[in-house]
Amino acid sequence: MIRVKKFGVLQTAKVVAMIYVIVSLVIIMPFAMIASMFSDEFFPEFADFGAAAMLMIPVMYGVMGFIFTAIGCVVYNLIAGFTGGIEIEMETAEK
């Protein structure tokens, strides 16, 4: 058994933040672009917000992913200090 006793808070938060940015670019951005095409027609007062939202969504996902992952890592590290951490059983793959 391998035991995860502690996460590196900043490194883990950076990796998760980048994953959130990439996911938002690949999945959320196409939906935002489609919505912005229709917002001009149906909601003209929100037409300018569509372009700003498309730029802010990946940034906000990255920032929030970093913050909440850092908090989660700190909480895990505190709890793992009392409980010993999560145990993982691993084996080497044969070729």
Q: What is the pLDDT of residues 4-63, one digit of tens each?
A: 899 999 999 999 999 999 998 888 777 777 776 776 666 666 566 666 777 788 889 999
Confidence at 93, pLDDT banded by 50, 70, 90: confident
Is 52 contained in some domain? yes
- Predicted local distance difference test score (pLDDT) of residue 58: 86
In a domain, 43, yes or no: yes
Here the tokens at position 45 are: 């007062």
Round to whole Å and give the CA distance between 69 and 7: 10
pTM: 0.74
Q: Give the structural domain span for 17.
A: 2-88
Based on the structure, what is the number of domains in the chain? 1
Q: Which distant-in-sequence residues (6+ apart) come within 8 Å of 49 by Cβ?
A: 39
